[in-house]
Structure 1
């Protein structure tokens, strides 16, 4: 593809390859990548292959300005010797950063390279890179072409004036590459792409244009300092995990034309207290607001023909299905309408402020996880009209919680429910050598750590939890990363470890959460008695 620009004779390259000539292994890899990309039909610049004789400094910088992808080849020898601002590779890299190119690090022995990065190359850790393996060179090329390279230079441009903070492909915002705390997206953008703002934890405010139609999967996931968002009226769809783990998000205004809110779209939004469902919404995933521990009410426009609400609880329009009770609701008794036929998936999950639910005659279906972790419901009565009861509906219940049945309740179903309650896992005391232990886990937000400690205390799985702030440095997805976290240390009996582990994993916002078990070798008799006296003792109750 040979593209010209504004009558200028200078060729536009799709890819620019930067490498250290003195690093023999890297220079050879750069030339091999150049040859492979040329064969694939990509216009690619590599200095020894693409330049004629003469002065080439300004020409190289102009080529970087006009290219689409900046590939930087990194080996353990790339940064041998002094690397200052006059270093040629550093000047190429700086030019790519200033012009917000799609930067693609290509590594040989990535771990060693990252350990040797000079201060002025530390930003390379922010970019998703790819590691070369000589035994899988064909696979490497396919991944590079299919997943990393932005391909159409005609349709690629940058926005936000001379700041050039966005990578945009046609009308789709692919990636935000700026560093501002307050971000304004220009008019004309119709799609916020997958992961476009994910993990950009410094952003506090985002202004969306009136042209947005779709917010895709994980677009703003883990923008943990984002405090409010106003969805434009034109936005039709809010994708899976679009605002998940936005821990400080306290206000959301949905667009008038919004039609769908997908799986976990607002999960783990710790400060969200109220959601107003607009008139055009047709589909709300049952777990769209899971783990929103402060959410107290879901309100629905009277003009909506698909949904309704009563006392803050979300129902279908006819009030035949309970869709979602907000987790932060506080109510001694929830009286369900007599029209209810089905209690849907996750309907009352984690509603720890609910103490009783009156289920009317006529209910036929109770779906999975419907009452999961409703730890303060002491007794639940099931009517004899129930035809389906998913056993996972009472996941997280303790042996102390009871279910009563009407006289004509299906006996086979009753037996399965009672056996499920009896079979709650109890760990034998001799499984661990020491009687007591500390269980440690970490969280991104203090609110989540406090919430987890409260839940474990209420379930009587631990006697206390200490929370401390720490700074973690870790490896994730082949990248060294670091961030502030909050550590929760729980005191408990060793026999409860697996119950606690299961509970933490099910309720943690991390994809992979740290869970460490530290045996307690010695403690005073008085303190040991205090631990045991404040913990649920399933096995001592004969269950």
Structure 2
């Protein structure tokens, strides 16, 4: 079937909007469209866009680097927001993600510098790696039902100050909040069992965090570069990986359940003054380059 041109601004084929060729500030996508095709609005001059109900997919690069785009709706029928769909939309101020969305692709909202608040639906939609990387978000709200935060999801969101997580969260991925330099506090629900490598790396303002009681894994450098001075490891945790905490650590409490500590777990923790063991285990080799290595 050939390309149907509804008018000089839209190229549509089999209910897929393949290309927008106009230069209007306000764009209204026609009814009946089920997919915005790859790169359809790429680098367009649109300031606002209205998408129709019935739309299912927003394709790869659909609105890539639409630098003037300030406002767009995502209809309640959309299921998939693909790779880099809104990446580089640096003027986009707000976005409402409906419960219908099942997948948010990698880099979907990367470098959306004006985007201030994101609410992720509680339908456990899959959020791919780097989805909001480098965005301007100040507040992240995750609704009840979601169980996992993806790798590097908020990497480099330097304005992020508030993160609200539901009790349903079980996993924080690798690098999820790396370089979120404005984040000073976070409540980690007790249902979390795994915090990935570099999850909070270089969150320089992040102070003491109460670890979830069900935590079983804290990855390498999970809290590296943070301002944590005191850590209590909950009972049930069995192993500690390399350098999970920052160099400002002064006190740590280890439970009975700990059976293995990596050789480099506390390497470089030169301010460490107080270690509390619940039972006599020989862990002194783990405290190289700390004050205890000289005793």
Q: TM-score, normalised by structure 2?
A: 0.69
Match of 1:387 in 2: 239
Shift of 1:234: 0.7
Shift of 1:169: 2.5
**Per-residue Cα deviation, 1:139-198 (whole angstroms, up to 9, x for no partner):** xxxxxxxxxxxxxxx331123x3xx21222322222222222222211111111222222
Given that 2:108 and 2:132 are in contact with CA atoms closer than 8 Å, whether structure 1 keeps it comes out as yes
Match of 1:343 in 2: 195
Correspondence for 1:288 among 131, 140, 145: 131
Correspondence for 2:3 among 156, 161, 181: 156
1:238/1:403 CA distance change after superposition, 3 Å = farther
Match of 1:312 in 2: 163
Q: Confirm whether residue 177 of structure 1 aligns to residue 21 of structure 2.
A: yes
Given that 1:295 and 1:326 are in contact with CA atoms closer than 8 Å, whether structure 2 keeps it comes out as no
**Per-residue Cα deviation, 1:433-485 (whole angstroms, up to 9, x for no partner):** xxxxxxxxxxxxxxxxxxxxxxxxxxxxxxxxxxxxxxxxxxxxxxxxxxxxx
Q: Confirm whether residue 363 of structure 1 aligns to residue 203 of structure 2.
A: no
Match of 1:165 in 2: 9
Distance, in Å, in 2 between the alignment partners of 1:421 and 1:156 is 64
Distance, in Å, in 1 between the alignment partners of 2:22 and 2:36 is 15
1:389/1:245 CA distance change after superposition, 3 Å = farther
- Secondary structure (helix, strand or coil) at the match of 1:206 reads strand
1:418/1:194 CA distance change after superposition, 3 Å = farther
1:381/1:261 CA distance change after superposition, 3 Å = same
1:349/1:185 CA distance change after superposition, 3 Å = farther
1:403/1:219 CA distance change after superposition, 3 Å = farther
Distance, in Å, in 2 between the alignment partners of 1:320 and 1:369 is 19
Q: Answer 1 or 2: which has greater strand percent.
A: 1
Match of 2:64 in 1: 221
1:211/1:322 CA distance change after superposition, 3 Å = same
- Tell which has more relative contact order, 1 or 2 (C-alpha 8 A, sep 6+): 2
Aligned CA-pair RMSD:
3.6
Correspondence for 1:354 among 206, 220, 243: 206
Q: Answer 1 or 2: which has greater helix percent.
A: 1
Shift of 1:251: 0.5
Distance, in Å, in 2 between the alignment partners of 1:328 and 1:273 is 14
Correspondence for 1:245 among 69, 85, 88: 88
1:243/1:165 CA distance change after superposition, 3 Å = same
Given that 2:41 and 2:63 are in contact with CA atoms closer than 8 Å, whether structure 1 keeps it comes out as yes
Distance, in Å, in 2 between the alignment partners of 1:274 and 1:178 is 30
1:253/1:334 CA distance change after superposition, 3 Å = closer
Q: Confirm whether residue 321 of structure 1 aligns to residue 171 of structure 2.
A: yes
Gaps of 5+ in 2: 150-161, 271-295
Q: Confirm whether residue 416 of structure 1 aligns to residue 264 of structure 2.
A: yes
- Kindly report which structure 2 residues correspond to 1:257-296, keeping only aligned pairs within 5 A, or say none: 257-285=100-128, 287-296=130-139
Q: TM-score, normalised by structure 1?
A: 0.40
1:411/1:358 CA distance change after superposition, 3 Å = same
Match of 2:287 in 1: none
Match of 2:39 in 1: 195
Q: Confirm whether residue 334 of structure 1 aligns to residue 186 of structure 2.
A: yes
Given that 2:239 and 2:260 are in contact with CA atoms closer than 8 Å, whether structure 1 keeps it comes out as no
Shift of 1:275: 1.7
